[in-house]
Structure 1
Amino acid sequence: MDSPWKRLLITETPTKPNITANSTNIIKNGTVVFTCSPENEGTNILWFCNNQTLSLNERRNMSKNNQTLTIKSVKREDAGSYQCEVWNPIGANRSDPLTLTVNYGPDHIVIRPSPESREIEIRFKDPLTLVCHIESYPPALYEWQVNSTMNSDFSGNTIVIKSVSWEDSGKYTCLAKNDVTNLTISKDVTVRVVDTSPGKCKGFSLSGGAIAGIVIGVLVGEALIQTLLYFLFFRKNGRVRKHHLSEKNHSAHKHGEDAKMYEHSVCPKGSALPAQVMGSSPAFPEVPSESPYQALDITTADVYDKIEPLKNPQA
């Protein structure tokens, strides 16, 4: 038979336990360890999260006597209020809550509106609103870039342009940073300002950067073409000059040979050259030619001149 003193210990309601943790402000994927310290011996321990009995899984496990709760690879859903409860057949008592904060993100960035093509068409002088949505704790810090240049005119997660101009075309990038996790995420969307007024092609627009790129491309192309033409022109002229010089030298050489040949064929060695005709070439003197009919010495005479008159027989 048990003593009255022992019976009194068994029937006493457990006092409120104390709960502690190695960290109550943890970064996602870290490990947290809770410890429950009851003041009474022989009590059972239960764990609660957000007033719900804590279920165990491969990431959540307890020690043999349930005094220690370990959560590995902490996730966002692990954040909340934790308590341990001690109980015996007489009663139960629960600890004060201990809040676990899980820092995460930035994750799942989205820019609204967000077409599948990641390109937004907006009419000239229409309003434009861009909203950057981020999942992050603590809340992320936002920065906007336009065409890869930070724009200090935009702050927070929202851009509002009351009346867009042609210069508002370009790539808009939302950057978000979590100072606790030291993580940064970004996403961009292209804005095209279009003119849909009558007589204009729908969807036509050119940003300042595109126009500058076209102008530079045209100038570079023109410079290359001029350089190529300059090179081809002088190369061709060089060939022509060389060809003309070669022909001139060849002609002079041939001319000398022809003159020498003529000299040997017309005027044999030792004979005098005929007088040159006025205006003839000194290299090729003209030789007077004589008609074959002029070479013939034809003497003409009247046959009647040869006939002598008859003498008068009477004389």
Structure 2
Amino acid sequence: MPVALAAAAAVAVLSLLFPRSCDQLQHLTLYYCELRDSSTLKLDMPNSKLRFVELNSCYVKTVEFLCLPKLEQLYCDSWRLSGAPLSFGFLALRNYALFATSRIQSGFKLTDLLHGTANVQDIALDFQGEVIWITPEGKKLRSALNKITKLFLHGIYVKFDLLWTLVLLESAPSVKVWNHACDEGTENRKQLSERNDLWDAAQLDGSIHYLQLERLEFGGFNQIIREHLDFIRAIIERAPNLKSKTDPCEDCEAMDNPIYPSISMFPQNNDEKITIVKQLKAGMNRPVEIIFC
């Protein structure tokens, strides 16, 4: 490590091999980096001060986070090889984001991707409008998600069925904020819908209610897409403790999210808003406030 980097607090490495770490680093970003044999990168640094790590389009089979006691945030975007990209040992990780678009990235178990992350409270999964790359696991998911308080689920193609995502919410009873943003995508992405049928809304337990859920944020909403209306109605019916915010546009993670900024198709006038509210609240016997940002 050059002397000039000895006291560096943040380093971004682009298209280079970064063989050793620096104990003073707090923020590390790797873009398009690879090992000579594209095998395993092991990070075992008990004295490290790293708090944020971003991996973007790296050619590494697996990154093993063995010991990074200060690490709080991890962002992994578009890994280039098949197979689960990460494994964990001792971490204090609290925020964890996984993004992927490649069609070879499928069949992952979320429990494997979360193994060793007992302290994680915020998790973001982004499918970027293509393949749903995690597989159903039934009750095993509950042990992996039971401490999650913020769940961000982004990039599901805008016309895919959404009710299956409630299986994740059922497995995360502590979630207070459910942030969902759809991706309008392209014509080619419509062909992928046939490949995303592993998750089935029939797995839902109709008796489960989301008692801790306080806020639903939905980005990319389109009032003419039935799947969107069905999804929001299902949440409202099962989450009796949803709360209103008086300033949603100033602090709305669905509309202004640093991880996944979404494009909204909200109603354009008051008449459209009234019509949608009636559709969403039809048959409900409790007051629900719906805010359009």
TM-score, length-scaled by structure 2: 0.18
Larger RCO (CA under 8 A, 6+ residues apart): 1
Based on CA coordinates, which of the two structures has the bigger radius of gyration? 1
Alignment TM-score, normalising by the size of structure 1? 0.17
Task: Give 1 or 2: higher strand fraction.
Answer: 1
- Greater share of helix residues, 1 or 2? 1
